[in-house]
Amino acid sequence: MTETTTARVDTDGAPLEATTIPAAFQRVVATYPDKTALRTIDGSVELTWAELDVRARKVATGLAGLGVQHADSVAIILPNTIECHLVDFAASHVGAVPFAVFNSSPAEQIEHQLRNADARVVVTQVAFLEKVQAAVAALGGQVEHVVLVDGDGSEGLMTLAQLEESGDPALDLDAVWQAVTPDDVATLIYTSGTTGPPKGAQWSHRTVMSAQRAMDAGLPVPTENIISFLPMAHAGGRVTVQYMALAYGATITVCPDMTQVPKALVTVHPDAFFSVPRLWEKLQVAIEGMAAGEPDEERRAALLAAIEVGVRAVQAAESGSGASAEDLSALEAQHAEGIELLKPLLARLGLDRLKAAFVGGAPSAPELSQFFRAVGVPMLEAYGLTEGSLNVFNQVADFKSGTAGRPLPGVELRLAEDGEILVRSDLNFVGYRKEPEATAAALDADGWLHTGDIGTVDENGFVSIVDRKKEIIINASGKNMSPAQIESAIKGESSLIGQIVAIGDRRKYVTALITLDAEALPTYAARLGLEGRSLDELAASEEINAEVAAAVERGNEHLHGNEKVKKFRILSTAWLPDGDELTPTAKLKRRVIHVKYADDIEGLYAD
């Protein structure tokens, strides 16, 4: 049974015109009541927006019954499941601050985030219970309730089902959610912690809704299907799924395990898809593999030619490419024919209905977006950060590969004297939780967010990200270099390269540590006659080293003399997100890498 409603509820108007998350949610429910809101990959569980509203109201009143009030924090430690999204929306309806913690976090990191957020309630599942309970115990009595979304109740904790039935049906929930204001904190996003303990970036409801309106004004946002696979603890997971669904009631298909993303894509065929570069790189390998593996020799040649022509067409269409109208027209015609030929490959991967594909969250090589545009996927390179949301995008018909695009409507952007990117807009966060000094360092008195990223802006307004301000390499001769720029130039030359780290601070020349791409490696091994060999053997083989050396040489052609990689070492190991070398969002942990592979690095400078 739902609660009694006495407040007048105004759900007129477009969801995107709403000023808070619960108001937008209620407008979606009123506009698209019978449209599916949440579903599992296999469709065994589906909730319409009207059904989701009923459950969200029950969870919200249950949270209120536990004492959760306006501005209280509710921690969610779950994979991307129905319950994850349900609890998040529900908490917003009582004016609380739902936030997610990466599932892979150890107890110590969970404790830090729960403490910083003053979390009173934690919602989790049995798989994470041991470390959650360790973190809760370390906090004394701060966390009052741990709610399990699974289990049989034998753990002695409240279940989500019990929570849904425990609320006071007389609670006027409509009055509660309508009391939420645009300036209330909507969620916390904890930074990846590459330079110290994670900081809690606070987003207001104004931050969230302004970001969605800005993206809708500049991009083809989804209206039908999106996939929830990026963790809700990641800014991209919230911006492009949890909140983006509120624009037009798009259906969210939950994908609790990253390994299930290929299956989800094939099942859902989304109309928009955002991911960090690593997944797109894997999809590129898959497309290249299907084309190269086509058994019919004539069709195989045609598919490979279609990709090659597509790349040339995309490069010619780039802003400022200088291609003549006649040449561009001829290439466009060939490209259109090639896309038709490649469509079956895209359909096999679930990429054939994309109106827009976004790549961001980490540096990517321009060749990545060029490849996907070549095969018919309208990829948009983008830029954003936890403190500023996604705020710079390329456009489907107006783009420049290798750049993040132009600022979204309503976003002001300028460069400081040292090249640091400064942005000012309602998309900016409202400060770090309990860290006024860090907040003041990031947000100045005039509202400019100091991003910490070094960039350039060309004559047409396209923004390029050069590097992190604190990650600039200064060689032994005093030359400043961007490791990210060096890495991007080389990585884009071969899908065989999984990760690359440029080394050279206070050194005479630049070197690199390189790992091999696990998905691409079998294809290369087969072509080079190295099937059946171990990773150690492949990494040490002359053939693989020659392939990587050729890619390094090609990449060096795009770099200044002092930036060129003189030596490299292939490591016989794979780096995984949230491992020693990568953050959960696949950013390089440069300090850790320099320490862990110190002997390998010194070996590159032994002479």
Q: Can you spell out the DSSP letters for 535-561?
A: HHHHHH-HHHHHHHHHHHHHHHTTS-G
Residue 597 falls inside a structural domain = yes
Q: Are residues 494 and 512 in the same domain?
A: yes
Q: Are residues 208 and 172 in the same domain?
A: yes
Structure confidence by residue, pLDDT tens digits, 569-587? 999 998 988 888 988 777 8
**Residue 189: pLDDT band with limits 50, 70, 90:** very high
- Whether the CB-CB separation of 514 and 493 falls below 8 Å is answered with no
Q: Are residues 93 and 233 in the same domain?
A: yes
Residue 247 falls inside a structural domain = yes
Residue 600 falls inside a structural domain = yes
Residue 519: per-residue pLDDT: 87
Q: Are residues 220 and 369 in the same domain?
A: no
In the sheet with 497-503, reading across from the earlier edge strand, the strands are 497-503, 510-516, 565-571
Residue 538 falls inside a structural domain = yes
CATH number at residue 572: 3.30.300.30
Instruction: Give the mean pLDDT of 452-475.
Output: 85
Residue 587: per-residue pLDDT: 81
For the chain, give the mean pLDDT. Answer: 91
| H or E element at residue 355 | none
Q: Is 12 exposed, middle or buried (0-12, 13-18, 19+ CB in 10 A)?
A: exposed
Q: Are residues 239 and 361 in the same domain?
A: no
- pTM for the full model? 0.82
CA proximity to 116, closest of 233, 183, 194, 202: 202
List the single range of 44-53, 119-128, 276-285, 358-367 with lowest mean pLDDT: 358-367
> How far is the C-alpha of 581 from the C-alpha of 564, rounded, in Å?
23
* Proportion of the chain above pLDDT 90, given as a percent: 71
CA angle 323, 331, 309 (to 5 degrees): 110
Domain end residue (candidates: 205, 238, 268)? 268
Q: Are residues 485 and 519 in the same domain?
A: yes
Return phi, psi of residue 561, to 5°.
Answer: -55, -45
List the single range of 160-174, 304-318, 468-482 with lowest mean pLDDT: 468-482
**Residue 360: pLDDT band with limits 50, 70, 90:** confident
> How far is the C-alpha of 210 from the C-alpha of 389, rounded, in Å?
10
Q: Is the pLDDT of residue 58 over 80?
A: yes
Residue 2: per-residue pLDDT: 42
Q: Is the pLDDT of residue 489 over 90?
A: no
Q: How many domains does the chain have?
A: 3
Q: Are residues 240 and 309 in the same domain?
A: no
Tokens describing residue 151: 């289990």
Query: Domain of 599?
Result: 474-604
Q: Are residues 169 and 90 in the same domain?
A: yes
Residue 141 falls inside a structural domain = yes
Q: Is the pLDDT of residue 4 over 50?
A: no
Q: Are residues 300 and 258 in the same domain?
A: no
Residue 192: per-residue pLDDT: 66
b/e map 326-363, b = 16+ CB within 10 Å = eeeeebeeebeebbebbeebbeebbbeebbbbbbbbeb
Residue 89 falls inside a structural domain = yes
User: Between residues 197 and 273, which one has the greater pLDDT?
Assistant: 273
User: What's the sign of the alpha-carbon dihedral 134, 202, 231, 493?
Assistant: negative
Tokens describing residue 209: 């809704």
User: What's the sign of the alpha-carbon dihedral 542, 543, 549, 553?
Assistant: positive
Q: How many CB atoms are closer than 10 A to CB 267?
A: 19
Residue 590 is which amino acid? R
Q: Is the pLDDT of residue 5 over 60?
A: no
Residue 466: per-residue pLDDT: 83
User: Between residues 66 and 580, which one has the greater pLDDT?
Assistant: 66
Q: Is the pLDDT of residue 287 over 60?
A: yes
CA proximity to 16, closest of 222, 273, 274, 173: 222
Q: Are residues 146 and 61 in the same domain?
A: yes
> How far is the C-alpha of 572 from the C-alpha of 567, rounded, in Å?
17
Residue 36: per-residue pLDDT: 98
Q: Is the pLDDT of residue 3 over 60?
A: no
Residue 447 falls inside a structural domain = no
Contacts 24+ apart (CB under 8 A), 191-198: 191/386, 192/583, 192/584, 192/585, 192/587, 193/109, 193/583, 194/583, 194/587, 194/589, 194/590, 194/591, 195/470, 195/591, 197/112, 198/109, 198/112, 198/113
**Residue 507: pLDDT band with limits 50, 70, 90:** confident
**Residue 276: pLDDT band with limits 50, 70, 90:** confident
Which CA distances in Å does 68 have to 175, 374, 437, 452?
16, 51, 29, 36
Contacts of 56 (CB under 8 A, 6+ apart): 25, 86, 89, 90, 93
Give the CA count within 13 Å in the CB-facing half-sphere of 305. 10
Residue 511: per-residue pLDDT: 96
Residue 441 falls inside a structural domain = no
Which CA distances in Å does 246 have to 24, 55, 269, 489, 501?
6, 17, 19, 38, 39
Residue 154: per-residue pLDDT: 81
Residue 442: per-residue pLDDT: 95
Tokens describing residue 143: 């966390």
Q: Are residues 256 and 400 in the same domain?
A: no
Q: Is the pLDDT of residue 7 over 60?
A: no
Q: Are residues 125 and 195 in the same domain?
A: yes
CATH number at residue 229: 3.40.50.12780
User: What's the sign of the alpha-carbon dihedral 192, 197, 203, 207?
Assistant: negative
Q: Is the pLDDT of residue 160 over 90?
A: yes
Q: Is the pLDDT of residue 175 over 90?
A: yes
Instruction: Give the mean pLDDT of 106-120.
Output: 94
